Amino acid sequence: MRLVDTHAHVDELIDLDGAIERARIKGVTAVVAVGASLAVNTKILEIAQEHPDFIYPAIGIHPAEAEAASDEALRFIDENADACAAIGEIGLDYSYRVDKDLQKAVFKKMLEVAERHDKPVSLHSRYAWDEVLSCVLDKEIRRGVFHWYTGPLETLEKILDCGYLVSATPAIEYSMKHREAIERAAVESILLETDTPVKYRGVTSEPSHVIRVADAVAEIKNLTVKRLAEITTSNACKLFGLQF
């Protein structure tokens, strides 16, 4: 059984080597490591070089970091995009005390990089689900995933109709909004992730915990875990161009 953790902040792991070994034991064959700022993006690329064919980098400016999106930070992403599996984590989050117009301006620049380099996007859309969808459609971004989706089901239908994917996290074990979204989405439109090192019910996540997500989604979809893993791993490979 092969699993892919499609969204992890591996730069924040204290014991990265240990986490990678534990992930391999659980059947994880790839991790998409997302960036958030210039410093993090630089580190993500270094980690990916140290762990080729397992850590796949995605670089971007997280909406929480929009105020630090210097010309240098934006240029770095543009110059290194071709070496990455995706542009991300990017998007909007209207729960943050970060100017919405600034968030949107940075987000649009990130989408332009993705368009220019023909890269998929890993999207953060909390409390801005419709606006994020509108932005990606305006920029004619063809491939992307709305990570950890908890928004309205009406918007979810539009997301899925446009061919975008959504990802399931360990929060599916207790979050009704998240569970409803995964129940509604076809398995061909679902990815698995941990958002490492987010804490779920007090437990710090790491890529090996993606097996918990696989178990929960398999139960919801009435599939064996093996079959669920096959489909979601195929989904990840198609979206991010993974080869293993």
Q: What is the pLDDT along the chain (244 residues), one digit of tens a residue?
A: 999 999 999 999 999 999 999 999 999 999 999 999 999 999 999 999 999 999 999 999 999 999 999 999 999 999 999 999 999 999 999 998 899 999 999 999 999 999 999 999 999 999 999 999 999 999 999 999 999 999 999 999 999 999 999 999 999 999 999 999 999 999 999 999 999 999 999 999 999 999 999 999 999 999 999 999 999 999 999 999 998 7
pTM of the model: 0.97
Give the model's pLDDT for residue 244: 78
Q: How far is CA 126 from CA 2, 44, 132, 153, 184, in A?
A: 29, 23, 9, 14, 18
Q: Tokens 């207790």 sit at which residue?
A: 174
Asked if residues 202 and 188 have their Cβ atoms less than 8 Å apart, the reply is: no
Residue with tokens 């649009």: 108
Any idea where the domains of the chain sit in the sequence?
Answer: 3-204+223-240
Considering the four listed CATH numbers 3.40.250.10, 3.40.50.10420, 3.20.20.140, 3.90.1150.10, the one that applies to the domain covering 3-204+223-240 is: 3.20.20.140
Rounded CA separation 84/120 (Å) = 10
Question: Can you give the pLDDT at residue 243?
Answer: 86
pLDDT of residue 132: 98
Spatial separation of the C-alpha atoms in residues 105 and 131, rounded to whole Å:
13
Look at residue 168 in the predicted model and tell me its pLDDT.
98
